Copies of this chain bind each other. A is one copy, B any other.
Amino acid sequence: MSGMNKRRITSKELAKLAGVSSATISRAFSPDSRIGRATRDRILAVAREYGYQPNAIARSLNNQRSRLVALVVNAIGNPCEAEEQQLLVHRLQARQLLPIILCCADHSDRLQLMRLASTYQVDHVVVFSDMVSMQDAVDIFHTTKPIIVSFEPLENENVSSIRIDGSEAADEIIEKIVRDGKKRFAYLSGTNSSWIDKLRRRWFAEALAKRGLSFEAQAFGDYSYDSGFKEAVLLLHRDKVDAIICGNDVMAIGARDAARRVLGKSTPGDIAIVGQDGIAMAAWDCNDLTTLSLDHTAFIDAVVELIERHDAEIEGPHSITLTCSPRWGSTA
């Protein structure tokens, strides 16, 4: 039974075994289809016996619908995206959609990768990564006409976007830090080019401006713990800042460790450190980070909502806006 290198049985072969035509086999597997009750039961029984399942590749070719979804992400391990990826994958699976991961990290050729995925006629594309230009994504995928859900707003009928607004939350956080007496702020970016990074920085910059302040220094990391640690040492030592707003939580943890270990400073007493994302790890007892967090569930709900709208060809706003909220810890 098991272990055999049995070739997969085809619908035509099963048809012969069940004494029907291959069309009838197909109908037996289509829920609402004109077929006799008895015939269907018999076919399903024989199918089970021989381990037959319709070939999804052939079905996709005929259907013009692959039920594949491309997820364009920066990295898989990265906690900042991981929780959302996890949620989304579950939601897709529940809808019988299979996710194909496109990982843009490092120097992999993102464009070639996206072109490869587009040849698989994916039904939808969800772009989490800020490493890829939305215009590139549209150009590559528009021939296959999937919907593209993305962080980055782009006026295009093929793109639905999710706008994130953290300005209020940033304002609350800055308010608290300023009240605590901090004066010299630094922003630690995750990249020096991404769209989302600039947006996040602007939220805080505006909150500072409102109070007659501005960033005294800016550094660039790569969203990693190590880069957070290294850049924070420089910021604290060279620029004498007493508050660091980080591009994500992981760098914030690195920065906090740098403050503690290298310079013997404490939070939030000596310096304030703020993360962004609101990953689960940030709430761990050993981290207890103050962070500008996004409701991951709401975010993924929005993604799924946009996908469904497009699936059902419902016209509607192609953009959903979500707001962030502060999560208070012991670092600011």
Contacts and interface: CB of A to CB of B under 8 A. Distances in A.
- Tell me how many chains of this kind the complex includes: 2
Contact of A103 (B93, B119, B284): B93
A274 B85 CA distance: 29
Nearest to A103: B89
A121 B6 contact: no
Interface stretch (A110-118, A171-179, A198-206, A298-306): A110-118
Contact of A9 (B60, B113, B143): B143
B82 A76 contact: yes
Interface in A69-107: 75-77, 79, 82-83, 85-86, 89-90, 93-94, 96, 98-103, 105-106
Contacts of A57: 57, 60-61, 66, 120-121
Contacts of A258: 285
> Mostly helix, strand, loop or mixed at chain A's interface?
mixed
A23 interface: no
Contacts of A106: 90
B285 A158 contact: no
A49 interface: no
B103 A86 contact: yes
A286 interface: yes
A69 to B, nearest CB: 10
A108 B121 contact: no
Most buried by B among A101, A118, A229: A101
Contact of A4 (B102, B142, B261): B142
A143 B6 contact: yes
Nearest to A50: B143
A84 B84 CA distance: 19
Contacts of A99: 100-101
4 closest A-B pairs by CB: A77-B82, A56-B119, A257-B285, A76-B86
Given A5-B158, A76-B82, A253-B284, 14 more contacts: A3-B142, A3-B156, A5-B145, A6-B142, A6-B145, A57-B120, A75-B86, A76-B76, A93-B103, A98-B100, A225-B284, A229-B285, A258-B285, A260-B286
27 contacts: A1-B139, A2-B142, A5-B145, A6-B143, A8-B145, A51-B143, A53-B118, A56-B120, A57-B57, A57-B61, A57-B120, A58-B61, A76-B82, A76-B86, A77-B82, A77-B280, A86-B103, A86-B105, A89-B103, A93-B113, A94-B108, A100-B100, A225-B281, A254-B285, A257-B285, A261-B285, A286-B286
